[in-house]
Chain A
């Protein structure tokens, strides 16, 4: 089969393997056809998050995608391409730091309940592959927009019974965050772990409203100045 890889230009590679995963094909190219191809991979079993790329404009883990032939492979979008299929991860990952997506350990023991464990189960399956980040259309207009996976991570900790104060994380989500999201769902479609950052944004908006934060769009729809 033939596949095409977007490098400095679009290159064509002939892969004599039967029903390979994209990662197998990349390894074949590297060892047999072209040593200059750069890509990342590690665990080969869908859990380390290092091999996400775009296949025919859709984000996929190379190790988990079976090729049929004719596909165009590209690096992830919205961040700098370092070389071939390798992109910069520093910038996307910086959003976790910005939103402080972590638990503040408490000295008194708080039990995680079975219910709370179940509530954060999906969000804590995130492998930080950045597929959602690549799929999100907001970066075309706003580079400061918080990464979709950061929303998911924020929700993971906010819904955890051991989180004592939700305000710090919530307040960091108010600008360039939950209200700038268009709820287009591209991130959910891209996620190999079936996480929906879009749904998480909706949940975060609800949590924000319950904690007294005000949706700026709601304000402006009243023509800005609100007087009661």
Chain B
């Protein structure tokens, strides 16, 4: 029998876990990604990955904390599944070589993050995501996963409600490629990059996979739930990890006074800061009292980032911060086996809504989610009883679409429109929303969509045309923004990160 062919789109933590698992189960696996695997946003996670593995903690507490933070918007069965699988997930990561930090008795060290009733986040110094991502990448090479990099997903091949592969733009040549599969796993990450400079995310985290899936017939779930991280550096939006507060950092207002419980749920802390900002105050994250030695041992990356991007050494001075968009709780709707509304299309990681974060994600739960659900996605993808199509499909429509984006006579600079979209989403679809603001945002977005015809790609060179890539990302952002606003308008009362005034 021929091997099952699995296409995985996305090479962040979720994509790589799925790739290793599917390969180990005997599938032939190809991973497609926009850049190189190790460029994926997963590398940015600093704080840690949750699992109840010490005697002061229990799986029950992990479940309780997660459900409490989710405010009724998570599925308790899924939360239970994830939390129970957590110790094993950590054990697996440890076994394949992730260098988790140890305590003096050589057991995996854990730190406290917001909303947790015990120190639960395992970390690898403050480079948790980086070290997990690179270790996974090395393991992919070991087991023989095929990578085709610099491929941008632009469409799914769907016939009679069945996904039979994907269509990509080969960024190196601007030509179209098609990849056929028995099953496909989307692991393309979240959509908070569409908040642009008001986001901690990588600039290309524009929800492409979600946009493509929705256009092809998948359903969305909970898009209105966008988590705002309380502490990004004020000028650059570079994240200062929650571990800075977990280790004892204070939030201070203009008068250098503490004003809120630093380790409260993220949405509450973000709103407390936002209120101060609306009153015209500056807000600071202060770790000076922890001392240089402690900071260098436990928060070296935070120090480096603050010095580099804000020109402030947090050993001497509090860091100016603001809350910005950070994590997409919503995503592609799927069942408890990660199967979407499209047969043979599975989802894993931040692009999916696995119903474990609800209205408010706990720090450290998303790295966990991606390991647990990418594993499930891989197992199910292998079971998909779908045969491969044998001949190439006609890509004329896709080709016409790409050709139509080149517009040397464009009169509107889409980069300017993108900035307007970013700021509109932050001010109107942000930390505090209202029906009026959302309606206004919808109008702005709709008008922008009408202007798209006057925008376009000016650069006609087909080799590594990054303007084309960025325009496609902008179109995905625009499309998703409308979906997010519509979802937010439907939810009239406040719930967690979706706060209505």
Contacts and interface: CB of A to CB of B under 8 A. Distances in A.
The residue in B38, B101, B124, B172 that gathers the most chain A C-beta atoms within 10 A of its C-beta is: B38
A48 B464 contact: no
Interface string A77-96: 00000111010011001001
Interface stretch (A119-127, A132-140, A196-204, A212-220): A119-127
Contacts of B290: none
A44 B238 contact: yes
B409 interface: no
Q: How many of chain B's residues touch chain A, expressed as a range?
A: 35 or more
A117 interface: yes
Contacts of B139: 102-103
Contacts of A44: 202-203, 236, 238
Given A49-B38, A112-B102, A126 B134 contact: yes
A2 interface: no
A101 interface: yes
A162 B35 CA distance: 31
Contacts of A124: 99, 124, 127, 131, 134
B467 A49 contact: no
A111 interface: yes
Contacts of A54: none
Interface in A31-46: 31-32, 35-36, 38-46
Contacts of A50: 35-36, 39
B466 A48 contact: no
A125 B127 contact: yes
Contacts of B457: 35
A39 B466 contact: yes
Interface string B438-462: 0000000000000000000111010
A112 B100 contact: yes
Contacts of A127: 38, 43, 130
Interface string B25-66: 000000000011011110110000000000000000000000
Nearest to B233: A45
A44 B201 CA distance: 9
A68 to B, nearest CB: 15
Contacts of B236: 44-45
Interface in A12-50: 30-32, 35-36, 38-50
B99 A47 contact: no
Nearest to A157: B97
14 contacts: A38-B463, A47-B44, A49-B38, A83-B463, A102-B97, A103-B97, A103-B138, A114-B104, A117-B100, A124-B99, A124-B134, A125-B125, A127-B38, A157-B97
